[in-house]
Amino acid sequence: MTTTPTRHFLRDDDITAAEQREILELALAFRKDRHLEQPFAGPRAVAVIFDKPSTRTRVSFSTGIAELGGYPLVIDSASSQLGRGESVADTARVLERMVSAIVWRTFGQELIEEMAAHSSVPVVNALTDSFHPCQILADLAAVADARGGVDALAGLTLTYVGDGANNMAHSYLLGGALAGMHVRVGAPADYMPDESIVLDAKRLAAEHGGSVTVTTDHDDAVAGSDIIATDTWVSMGDEDQYEARAGVFSGYQVNARTLELANPGAQVLHCLPAYRGKEITADVLDGPRSIVWLEAEYRLHAQKALLTWLASR
């Protein structure tokens, strides 16, 4: 008997473009009907493990799993045996016998890959140092919703400015390319995206009608963009570099001038938490072009869509 391999969502390109579309359509449908599907009715448990702080991811997965009929088991790893050195593989071998999926926010991408390698239930990346793929599903769903549907995504120019080497930059590259967007990253030379991820994104963009541009020039990056995205200059784990980073990134702030260079009607994304006056000014974050609160809300709908889709594999 052949068994279908378990599907995991560890990076944005773990799904095909058609699968991404299916999940995004489902996310928009979940926004209209919060109780559209109940794949975890029973209730079945889903483990949601945090090695780093979180507000949105914690609340959206907890609420979402409950709305899917399931039981969210939220674990701070410091209070579990993972925090005392139990191996990732042994943790997976235990959890897979008790839960229907494992959602994990951790540090290295290799850790979540190890969890997936030892788990017969889906493993979902709730942010690693390298990727934040659930956030990009939410971002794409919010843009689609704000622009009339998922068909609106392909062909848009989505520009991320700021720390080009962080998880958000990498996920915009892959997720945006998969959606057929023209993805640009504007970042300082020492904070460029990982070259292998840029190559993967370029290959995806070529397959799906988009493109990928990486530049050190803020103005070139944002000129003519439809969507402007940014993120904190100091990601979780980089706190010791706070002062150095503030200087390096000051020319990459999203502000009124950024919006003047972008297309008329350009919309602004920020995964949050935001630091007003640093990576984005308050007038832009709180202004009419910002769709950050819809984006935050879509964490709930998009993750419910993802979990429902994974449960149906």
Residues marked as catalytic? 105, 132, 135, 231, 271, 299
Residue 230 near ligand NVA by CB under 6 A: no
Site string for ligand NVA, 242-281 (x = CB under 6 A): -----------------------------x----------
Residue 235 near ligand NVA by CB under 6 A: yes
Stretch that binds ligand NVA, among 89-97, 206-214, 218-226, 230-238 (CB under 6 A): 230-238
Stretch that binds ligand NVA, among 21-29, 43-51, 164-172, 194-202 (CB under 6 A): 164-172
Residue 168's binding partner out of ligand CP, ligand NVA, none, with CB under 5 to 8 Å set by partner kind? ligand NVA
CB of 25 to ligand NVA, least distance (A): 25
CB of 172 to ligand NVA, least distance (A): 11
Site string for ligand CP, 67-106 (x = CB under 6 A): ----------------------------------------
Q: Token pair for residue 138? A: 């939410």
Candidate residues 135, 230, 267, 281; the one interacting with ligand CP per rule CB under 6 A: 135
CB of 241 to ligand CP, least distance (A): 19
Say whether 310 counts as a known binding-site residue: no
Residue 303 near ligand CP by CB under 6 A: no
CB of 192 to ligand NVA, least distance (A): 15
Residue 100 near ligand NVA by CB under 6 A: no
Task: Report 39-58 residues binding ligand CP (CB under 6 A).
Answer: 54-57
Residue 167 near ligand NVA by CB under 6 A: yes
User: Which of 209, 232, 239, 241 lies closest to 280 in space, CA to CA?
Assistant: 232
Residue 169 near ligand NVA by CB under 6 A: no
Say whether 181 counts as a known binding-site residue: no
Q: Token pair for residue 130? A: 């390298």
Residue 311 CA to residue 123 CA, distance in Å, equals 11
Say whether 81 counts as a known binding-site residue: yes
Which residues have CB under 8 Å from 286's CB, separation 6+? Answer: none
Candidate residues 96, 226, 231, 279; the one interacting with ligand NVA per rule CB under 6 A: 231
Burial of 33 (0-12, 13-18, 19+ CB in 10 A): exposed
Residue 185 near ligand NVA by CB under 6 A: no
Residue 55's binding partner out of ligand NVA, ligand CP, none, with CB under 5 to 8 Å set by partner kind? ligand CP
Question: What angle is formed at CA 76 by the lines to CA 75 and CA 80, rounded to 5 degrees?
Answer: 80
CB of 271 to ligand CP, least distance (A): 4
Q: Which residues bind ligand CP (CB under 6 A)?
A: 54-57, 127, 135, 271-272
